[in-house]
Amino acid sequence: MAGILAWFWNERFWLPHNVTWADLQSTEEASFPQAEDLYLAFPLAFCIFMIRLLFERFIAKPCALGLKVQANGPQKAQPNAILEKVFTAITKHPDEKRLEGLSKQLDWDVRSIQRWFRQRRNQEKPSTLTKFCESMWRFTFYLYIFTYGVRFLKKTPWLWNTRQCWNGYPYQPLMPDLHYYYIAELSFYWSLMFSQFIDIKRKDFGIMFTHHIITVTLITFSYVTNLTRVGTLTLCLHDAADVVLEAAKMANYCKCQKLSDLLFLTFAIVFIVISTSFPPNAKLAYLLDCHWIYSVLDKKHMGLLEITWLQVSR
């Protein structure tokens, strides 16, 4: 195991020439990012998840009901032990042969069985109210962390001159505000990844899980290798786009279609600007968002989505 770790953390790969990990150990004169700093993200991720539960119940849900967001979920299928067993243990999409067999066994017509399976599949989908509450939570966090990031970056030289991101690298002391910014972002994405296993499973589970894994990986390794200056710029720009995206989703759930269209157009513009401002390795996690945007907004937006993809893939 020690050999594998030594190979993985090879200084020739992670650090500039003639720089070692020992050179980046914190001293009384200067503090540098340390891998063990990131352990704090795990308890904070749990705290963020608990805050989310309270927020959705006592703030987001009343707001949703006040905006007349549909509270009722899809119609539930009538209880049937045989069909339930087939649904949970065999298949959620029975073929014609199985439908005919179930029809004879239950003395139901095929259309009734098809309707039962359709209703049963819809039961596993989150209600519009649930989706609105989730989006409002993410919108609130992204707005907060984006505001914090802007206030922090305004005081830094690398916001206005990106060459400062590399000035003195990797011997760039860790600022307390930068440390908090990174830990807060990392904790939030850890909480999103863990909550996927508790929330209602969705079709985009695999895509979003991969998205969160890549995001956590990029944040972690940019911190450990002290690429935090360019990391803060990337995080802030992505948070700006996420604020607009979550707002567009909330407008869509409220059936404010014109507002949703406008916000989605704004998101597409911001996304294109971000995608053409950074090299591919800095935006890999963000590209995965394209796979599921169309599923949370109206499908007529696919034209904009395709334009975004073309712009990103150039």
d(CA 158, CA 228): 11
Q: What percent of the chain has pLDDT over 90?
A: 62
**What's the pLDDT tens digit per position in 177-216?**
999 999 999 999 999 999 988 876 777 788 889 989 999 9
Residue 284 has pLDDT above 80, yes or no: no
The terminus-to-terminus CA distance of the chain in angstroms comes to 41
Q: Which residue has the higher pLDDT, 70 or 23?
A: 23
Residues 54-64 pLDDT 10s: 999 999 999 99
Q: Compute CA 87 distance to the chain's CA centroid, rounded to the nearest angstrom.
A: 30
Q: What is the pLDDT of residue 260?
A: 94
Instruction: Look over the chain and give the mean of its residue pLDDT values, rounded to a whole number.
Output: 85
pLDDT computed for residue 308 by the predictor: 37
List phi, psi (to 5°) of 215: -65, -45
Mean pLDDT, to the nearest integer, of 123-150? 93
Query: What average pLDDT does this structure show over 124-149?
Result: 94
Alpha carbon distance 231, 27 (integer Å): 23
Helix axes 228-253, 205-224, angle to 10 degrees: 150
Q: Which of 129, 32, 34, 118 is nearest to 83 (CA)?
A: 118
- 25-67 pLDDT, tens digit each: 999 889 999 999 999 999 999 999 999 999 999 999 999 999 9
Tell me the per-residue pLDDT of 293-309, one tens digit each, with 9 for 90 and over.
Answer: 434 444 444 444 433 33
pLDDT of residue 71: 77
> What's the burial of 197, exposed, middle or buried (CB within 10 Å: 0-12/13-18/19+)?
exposed
The rounded distance, in Å, linking the Cα atoms of 278 and 162 is: 12
More confident residue, 300 or 124: 124
Cα three-residue angle 207-41-186, rounded to 5 degrees: 45
Helix-helix angle 228-253:128-153, to 10 degrees: 150
pLDDT given at position 278: 55
